[in-house]
Amino acid sequence: MQRPASPGPGPSRTMGGVSDDVLLTRHAERGAAASAEAAKGLPAPPSLHTLIVTCMDARIDPVALFGIEPGEAHVLRNAGGIVTDDVVRSVTISQRELGTRTVYVVQHKGCGMGTFTDPEFVAKLQEECGATPDWAPGAFSDAFESVRQGVARLVDSPFTLPEMRVKGFVLDLETFALEPA
């Protein structure tokens, strides 16, 4: 099965009635200037020496959730807030090159990653794409257990710093309270 060609630059596409140029317009109108002003003079290492791993769910705003200011923390987001090989890679670089020492792993109740299993999703990809991924989707049925596994994976990695502090939480999307995992 061949993938359709990307439309590339040119007329904007719409999905769900929203133009994909909305974000580029916002960037041009205010985002670039506001971001440049906020980052002006800040060093690359995060001043709080903290890195947050969380879900890409659009309802979660890690900046608001933790009251982060520009330059204070690294934020890694992916489907489910799973500690993957790439998260371990990024945490290792953040620690060893940019001085982070604390990691928060934050997943949430009602995550979409709990609505399917890895074998189901892989079978769906095989059927729809004609190929299987070389990565695991990372589906889970218990966010608390998934966070504990992610924390353990970071602690057990030979690449992360032994003195790092790792804390795991599950976020309630109704109250936005953090429950220790």
Residue type (1 letter), 153: R
Look at residue 7 in the predicted model and tell me its pLDDT.
Answer: 46
How far apart (Å, rounded) are the C-alpha atoms in residues 134 and 177?
A: 35
How far apart (Å, rounded) are the C-alpha atoms in residues 76 and 103?
A: 10
Q: Are 88 and 153 in contact (CB under 8 A)?
A: yes
Helix (H/G/I), strand (E/B), else coil: 104: strand
Look at residue 84 in the predicted model and tell me its pLDDT.
Answer: 98
What is the pLDDT averaged over residues 155-159?
98
Look at residue 116 in the predicted model and tell me its pLDDT.
Answer: 98
Look at residue 94 in the predicted model and tell me its pLDDT.
Answer: 98
The residue ranges of every structural domain in the chain are 43-180
138-155 confidence digits (pLDDT tens): 999 999 999 999 999 999
What is the pLDDT averaged over residues 78-87?
98
The single-letter DSSP state of residue 29 is I
Q: Are 81 and 107 in contact (CB under 8 A)?
A: yes
Q: Are 164 and 154 in contact (CB under 8 A)?
A: yes
51-67 confidence digits (pLDDT tens): 999 999 999 999 999 99
Look at residue 5 in the predicted model and tell me its pLDDT.
Answer: 47
20-50 confidence digits (pLDDT tens): 789 899 999 999 999 999 999 999 999 999 9
Look at residue 104 in the predicted model and tell me its pLDDT.
Answer: 98
Between the CA atoms of 70, 67, 160 and 99, what dihedral angle is there, to the nearest 10 degrees? 40
- What is the CATH architecture of 43-180? 3-Layer(aba) Sandwich (3.40)
